Amino acid sequence: MNLQAFEFSVVDNVGHIRLNQPEKGNPFNAAFCAEFSALAVECSENPGVQAVLIDAAGPNFSVGGDLKEFLQEPETLPAKFKRLTANLHMGVARFARNDQPIVVAAHNLVVGGAVALVAGADFVYATPGSRFYAAFGAIGVCGDTGISHYLPRRVGSRKATEFLILNETWSAETAVRNGLINGVVEESELFAHCMGLATRLAQGPTAVYGRMRRLLLSTYDQSIETQLEMEATAMAECARAPEALEAMAKLMKKTR
């Protein structure tokens, strides 16, 4: 793929996506939004990708929206936002529906849409000095990238409201305590830790993970009866795969 805002490679069945505009702070700009959508398709259609790792080049994970780009021809900003989010949000939605679990290695500054990206991932580890800054209210916008969907699911509606409306900055410790991220790893060990987890996931039952991810995504939107039926249907689909029977037989041998 010919990319400007990212680097992409596949190693040990892990699709490694690296934000790669370090000189700009890895902003969410036009190139980022278009390529993020394209990468969601690539990860879903590439049979060699069984898990995804997202990290970033440079001193910070991401400064969020590209204010310099936003302020070019400011009279066109409403239309620009619609065009940018058309690409960005398609990528968010497709990554959410893909089978492959997503691991994020977030270091230092994580701002705005990047916080939403973190909230939408399955596993997130950060560095001790990481800071998660809401930022949207500070620039007069309400938020995108799925922040209003994912953040309340991760941290609860009270904490999400405080974070966004009070324009808070959370330390790595606070982010762990509130449930935004899984844990904290020294910066020198962050990539290896997250790649190790992604590689472990890539060796697992990807189709099963996909069904788990989609069931967890729908849990707040469905009645208990609908969610139960979705679970039953997904279980039946899993049972059609020979890997399920093999795994059951293997476990049964161990417990004898």
Q: Where are the domains of the chain?
A: 6-202, 206-255
Cβ(115)–Cβ(147) below 8 Å: yes
Give the mean model confidence (pLDDT) for residues 62-81: 93
**Helix, strand, coil percentages in the chain from 3-state DSSP, rounded to 5:** 55, 15, 30
CA distances to 60, 145, 172, 188 from 27, rounded to whole Å, are 10, 13, 21, 23
**Using one digit for the tens of pLDDT, what is the confidence trace for 176-217?**
999 999 999 999 999 999 999 999 999 999 999 999 999 999
Model confidence band, residue 106 (pLDDT cutoffs 50, 70, 90):
very high
d(CA 112, CA 119): 11
Give the mean model confidence (pLDDT) for residues 148-153: 97
CA distances to 2, 62, 173, 188, 191 from 176, rounded to whole Å, are 36, 19, 5, 19, 18
**Encoding tokens for residue 129?**
């000095």
Q: Which CATH superfamily is domain 6-202 in?
A: 2-enoyl-CoA Hydratase; Chain A, domain 1 (3.90.226.10)
Q: What is the pLDDT of residue 242?
A: 87
Q: Which residue has the tokens 């009070």?
A: 166
Helix (H), strand (E), coil (C) string for 80-111: HHHHHHHHHHHHHHHHHHCCCCEEEEECCEEE
The SS3 of residue 69 is helix
Q: What is the pLDDT of residue 203?
A: 96
Other CB atoms within 10 Å distance of the CB of residue 85: 16
Q: How many residues does the chain have?
A: 256
**Encoding tokens for residue 189?**
């060990």
Q: Model's pTM, two decimal places?
A: 0.94
